[in-house]
């Protein structure tokens, strides 16, 4: 059986907030290879978007093992474009990368939110840039560069019918 066939995406509930907060620490740590993130005096990465992005939160599982999380929000916080879904955060643990887990999780998430979509990738985040260019290709996205919050981004826009 392919790894992607054993992927499930579950809508997170309030009692899952601590789990996702822990995963965010791993997510930010992974991104420090390409991007600097401040670490507080408590030794944790600072993350100020948790409540704002807790609109459509998901946990990603491979079989029964926790493999990641995603935050989908209404409207784009990067381009201020309304009336669309935006993948605010998406994280798959390293042990599950390159095995179809992320692409299958993404497929399941966008199927739950039909309509216009936008996602943005900081261009110097190499791993994410490579992943998203492959995963969104089947949606025939429009893409364009965008400068936001001191970073160069690549924005993808597409629709899920």
Q: Structural domain boundaries of the chain?
A: 3-160
| Digit-coded pLDDT (tens) for 15-68 | 999 999 999 999 999 999 888 888 999 999 999 999 999 999 999 999 999 999
For 134-141, what is the mean pLDDT?
96
Q: How far apart are the first and last CA of the chain?
A: 28
Residues 6+ apart with CB under 8 A from 93: 26, 66, 67, 68
Confidence at residue 4, expressed as pLDDT on a 0 to 100 scale: 57
Class of domain 3-160: alpha beta
Angle between helices 101-112 and 126-135 (to 10 degrees): 60
Nearest residue to 144 (alpha-carbon basis) of 154, 158, 134: 154
| Other residues' Cβ atoms within 10 Å of the Cβ of residue 116 | 16
pLDDT: is 5 or 113 the higher one? 113
Q: What is the pLDDT of residue 36?
A: 84
Q: Rounded to two decimals, what is the model's pTM?
A: 0.94
pLDDT tens digits, one per residue of 80-121: 999 999 999 999 999 999 999 999 999 999 999 999 999 999
Higher pLDDT among residues 153 and 3, named by residue: 153
The CA–CA distances, whole Å, from 160 to 8, 10, 85 equal 19, 20, 10
Q: Residue 124's pLDDT band (boundaries 50, 70, 90)?
A: very high
* Per-residue pLDDT at 133: 96
Statement: residue 12 has pLDDT above 90: yes
pLDDT for residue 1: 44
């Amino acid at each position: 059986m392919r790894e992607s066939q054993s992927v499930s995406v579950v809508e997170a509930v309030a009692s899952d907030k601590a789990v996702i907060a822990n995963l965010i620490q791993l997510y930010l740590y992974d991104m420090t290879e390409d991007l600097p993130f401040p670490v507080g005096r408590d030794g944790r990465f600072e993350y100020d978007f948790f409540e704002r992005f807790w609109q459509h939160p998901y946990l990603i599982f491979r079989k029964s093992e926790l493999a990641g999380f995603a935050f989908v929000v209404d409207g784009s916080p990067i381009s201020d474009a309304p009336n669309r879904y935006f993948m605010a955060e998406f994280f798959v643990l390293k042990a599950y990368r390159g095995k179809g887990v992320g692409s299958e999780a993404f497929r399941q998430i966008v199927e739950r939110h039909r309509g216009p979509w936008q996602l943005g990738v900081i261009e110097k985040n190499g791993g994410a840039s490579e992943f998203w260019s492959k995963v969104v290709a089947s949606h025939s996205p429009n893409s364009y560069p965008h400068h936001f919050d001191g970073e160069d981004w690549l924005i993808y826009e597409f629709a899920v019918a």
